[in-house]
Amino acid sequence: MEKKRNTVIFLTLAAGQEIRNILYGDFYSILKARQDVTAVLFVPDENAKKYQEKFGNEHCIIESIPPDIGGDRWVKQMYRIACFGCVPTRTISSRIWFSYLNGGSLVNFLVKQGFWVLGHFTFWRWIMRNIEYYIFRDDAGWHLYFEKYQPDAVFAAGLLTESDFLMVKYAHRHGIPSIGMMRSWDNFTSKGFLRVHPDVLLVQNDSMVEEAVRFNSYPREHIRVVGFPQWDHYVDPAWRMSKEEFGKMFGIDSSKRWITYFGGGLMAGLFNIPETAEHVVMLVKAIGRGELPNSQAVIRPHPSPYHVRALREEAKQCPVLAFGKGWDFTDADLRLLMNLVRLSDVTLNMGSTVALEASIFDRPIVLIGFNGYTPDSRIRWSQRLSAALDNTVHYQELEATGGMRRASNEKELIEVVRSYLENPSRDREGRARIVKKHVGPLDGKAGERIFRIVHAVASHSDLRKIPYHEIK
């Protein structure tokens, strides 16, 4: 009797975040256990060998992402710029202004703003998607792999890079079903124009459903809310560490209250301003003055070594938890990060996803809304953290929940931190609203949901019968 052919699924994992989201959790665990499924993972060429050693097996094949044929042509480059403007949000408009005021050319500014205005029209966005599909025939690099493996479905796990769209586009041309998932919760308002619609769209939370429909004209009935797979372990008691255990690992006094500064966010991600952690210096001085008694400032810097090196010497006197290598996370790194958030008495960030994680564990959130010791009056508007926060849609939505407090100067920073130390339950209802609206399903089964939906699509099951978080 002839052996039944395995179900074959293609996955694009173009960045460390996608590796983290898909391979360090239940999706990969289920995949390994399924003898009837073969996954072909497409990763950046420079990482193929490493991921082959770590994740490769008979049912998990590692391949390098095919080269982008024609991606360097000036026409496609111009098209990509136009697509950036197809996200009709204040976030995009402000970033076009920031780029211009920070040294960009007037011509580029006018072109981008023109595309942004056009991006408000549904018909224009429809035209842009049709240009991608019918004009740019640049997906031929995938032909060899589709012929070799004969996939039953393709899964673009980031929906941001050229490889995601080219694979989905090739699948469309050959009648192969496709699934896509945005890399993160803020992508639809800050960078994620869907140049090609996958057949099924997976999103992390309910807000993203509305954004997909509004900004990308994506059919609501083809969307499924799955949650954040990288946070499945957050409900697993086995992943939890005691404060004493964690403190011993990094030389932090567990008897003190931890005020943890999480670097990155808009200061680094948008302006690429070196992370000096002046805000931590302010905290250290306040602790020294007795204004924040029995407290310890802790630094979790941006993953880039560039920002770690920029820390002020006074800040480096605090514990600096620079575990991990860039965005290349391991299970151990993810566990440490989870416990750092969970064990902190107060968390500080500058517009990062850490606010969602802190809300999961009901940890107070201070949103740093100023650059540092230099007052806003002496900083160009286009480099002010306050201006970035005021014009970033997804963070405006978080602030509107009442789940965090923004500090606009040193005095406010110390006062807000002190108030949270004295009353950790302050703004608890707002943090619960963040979890409900922006975290999505938090039951430890996001990875399982993703696998089952992808497998169901590959098996040509009726999407309407997939019983996961019905969208109303």
Per-residue pLDDT of 125-174, as tens digits, reads: 999 999 999 999 999 999 999 999 999 999 999 999 999 999 999 999 99
Class of domain 240-437: alpha beta
Q: What pLDDT does 298 receive? A: 97
Contact 43, 60 (CB under 8 A): no
Q: Is pTM beyond 0.95 here?
A: no
**CB-based burial, 302-334: b 16+ in 10 Å, e otherwise:** bbbeebbebbeeebeebbbbebbeeeebeeebb
pLDDT band of residue 467 (cuts 50, 70, 90) is low
| Coil, strand or helix at 338 | helix
Residue 446, pLDDT > 60, answer: yes
Helix residue ranges, H only, 174-301: 187-190, 206-216, 243-250, 265-269, 278-288
pLDDT band of residue 464 (cuts 50, 70, 90) is low
Q: What pLDDT does 470 receive? A: 43
Per-residue pLDDT of 385-425, as tens digits, reads: 999 999 999 999 999 999 999 999 999 999 999 999 999 99
- Compute the mean pLDDT over every residue in the chain, rounded to the nearest whole number: 92
pLDDT band of residue 472 (cuts 50, 70, 90) is very low
Pick the CATH number of 5-67+137-229+443-463 from 3.40.50.150, 3.40.50.2000, 2.40.160.20, 3.50.50.60: 3.40.50.2000
Q: β-pairing, 37-43 with 7-12?
A: parallel
5-67+137-229+443-463 and 240-437: identical CATH topology: yes
Residue count of the chain: 472
Average pLDDT over residues 442-467: 86
Residue 29 tokens, joined: 């665990």
Residue 51, pLDDT > 70, answer: yes
Q: What pLDDT does 187 receive? A: 92
Residue 471, pLDDT > 60, answer: no
The order of strands in the sheet holding 257-262 is: 295-300, 257-262, 346-349, 365-368, 405-407
Residue 15, pLDDT > 60, answer: yes
Per-residue pLDDT of 248-307, as tens digits, reads: 999 999 999 999 999 987 877 777 777 888 999 999 999 999 999 999 999 998 776 656
Q: What pLDDT does 324 receive? A: 73
How deeply is 241 buried, as exposed, middle or buried, from its count of CB atoms within 10 A (0-12, 13-18, 19+)?
middle
Residue 461, pLDDT > 90, answer: no
- Dist CA 36 CA 452 (whole Å): 13
Domain ranges within the chain, ordered by starting residue: 5-67+137-229+443-463, 71-126, 240-437
Per-residue pLDDT of 311-343, as tens digits, reads: 888 888 899 998 876 667 788 999 999 999 999
